[in-house]
């Protein structure tokens, strides 16, 4: 009987797992990485071929792109697009052409997703360079007043107004701005909000792997003793056969000794 689920085993060690990766999460992370390369390596031959084949007007305007035939590579890119877009942002450069409303340049996602109501037609295509000035932001060019919270979030984004630089793509979870497979895997496996494992010290013990595994099982209530059998719904007596008043539950005793 295996009491540790596959979801527990495939978590990183700092979250209580073995550091193994599930095939689904790993594949999704690799496809997100391919999406990253597709947007960064725009001059690569493979990226040009995919754009020529699948970035057609017919596909862009189609309500159901799935009806069109696609290669396995393109299907994989589209499947992982949600993971990719969820945690990327554009870093505005000098005289940035990023759309102020629709592009992912703010730390909280597109500005358009945070406001309600229609935009005036003459303001839909506003770019960042239309609203920036040497001293900051020119709010008077906006058709309406933005909430204070959104303004503060916009002002927290560094925008180059003097030095020459181009708009760049960045991954939010990397200090270097490049997509890394570890954070992509955590995102694909819904592990970004998981609390740290209180027993991470187990893997730092200078002892045999079998003893480390025993402690790990104790932390996860995976030792096959009577009290745990009862917790699993198996009809049995949880008491020790020698000392009837004591319930067999090794975890509290072991970790109390460790303290």
Specify whether 26 is located in the same domain as 79: yes
Say if 57 falls within a structural domain.
Answer: yes
Specify whether 78 is located in the same domain as 94: no
Q: In the chain, which ranges are continuous DSSP H helix?
A: 6-9, 23-40, 45-54, 57-60, 72-79, 81-86, 128-131, 148-155, 181-188, 209-219, 226-231, 250-258
Residue 106 is predicted with a pLDDT of 86
Say if 183 falls within a structural domain.
Answer: no
Three-state DSSP string of 21-48: CCHHHHHHHHHHHHHHHHHHCCCCHHHH
Question: Which of the pair, 84 or 252, is modelled with greater confidence?
Answer: 84
Specify whether 60 is located in the same domain as 135: no
pLDDT at 257 over 50: no
Specify whether 119 is located in the same domain as 96: yes
Question: Phi/psi class of residue 160: alpha, beta or left (left: φ > 0; alpha: ψ in -120 to 50)?
Answer: beta
69, 85, 101 — which closes off a domain?
Answer: 85
Say if 60 falls within a structural domain.
Answer: yes
> Residues 176-219: pLDDT tens digits?
888 888 888 988 888 877 788 888 888 888 999 888 888 888 88
Say if 81 falls within a structural domain.
Answer: yes
pLDDT at 19 over 50: yes
Say if 127 falls within a structural domain.
Answer: yes
| Total structural domains within the chain | 3
Specify whether 126 is located in the same domain as 92: yes
Q: What percent of the chain has pLDDT over 90?
A: 10
Say if 190 falls within a structural domain.
Answer: no
Question: Which of the pair, 27 or 229, is modelled with greater confidence?
Answer: 27
85, 105, 132 — which closes off a domain?
Answer: 85
Specify whether 118 is located in the same domain as 52: no
Say if 180 falls within a structural domain.
Answer: no
Classify the C-alpha dihedral 155-156-159-163 as positive or negative. Answer: positive
> Residues 112-123: pLDDT tens digits?
888 888 888 888
Question: Which of the pair, 63 or 119, is modelled with greater confidence?
Answer: 119
85, 108, 134 — which closes off a domain?
Answer: 85
Range of the domain at 148: 88-171
Say if 42 falls within a structural domain.
Answer: yes
Supply the mean pLDDT for the chain: 81
DSSP state for residue 168 in the 8-state scheme: E
């Amino acid at each position: 009987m295996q009491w540790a689920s596959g979801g527990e085993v495939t978590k990183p060690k700092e979250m209580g797992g073995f550091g193994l990766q599930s095939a689904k999460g790993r594949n999704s992370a690799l496809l997100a990485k391919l999406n990253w390369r597709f947007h960064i390596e725009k001059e690569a031959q493979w990226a040009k071929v995919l754009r020529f084949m699948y970035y057609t007007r017919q596909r862009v305007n189609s309500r159901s792109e799935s009806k069109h035939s696609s290669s396995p590579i393109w299907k994989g890119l589209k499947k992982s697009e949600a993971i990719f877009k969820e945690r990327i942002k554009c870093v505005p450069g000098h005289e940035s052409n990023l759309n102020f409303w629709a592009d992912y340049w703010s730390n909280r996602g597109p500005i358009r997703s945070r406001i309600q109501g229609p935009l005036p037609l003459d303001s839909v295509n506003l770019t960042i360079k239309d609203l920036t000035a040497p001293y900051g932001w020119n709010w008077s060019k906006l058709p309406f007043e933005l909430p204070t919270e959104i303004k503060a979030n916009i002002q927290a984004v560094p925008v180059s107004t003097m030095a020459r630089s181009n708009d760049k793509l960045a991954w939010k979870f990397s200090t270097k701005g490049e997509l890394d497979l570890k954070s992509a895997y955590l995102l694909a496996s819904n592990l970004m909000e998981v609390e740290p494992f209180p027993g991470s010290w187990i893997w730092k013990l200078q002892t045999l792997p079998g003893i480390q595994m025993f402690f790990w099982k104790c932390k996860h209530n995976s030792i096959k003793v009577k009290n745990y059998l009862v917790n699993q719904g198996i009809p049995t007596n949880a008491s020790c056969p020698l000392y009837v008043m004591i319930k067999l539950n090794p975890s509290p005793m072991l970790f109390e000794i460790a303290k």
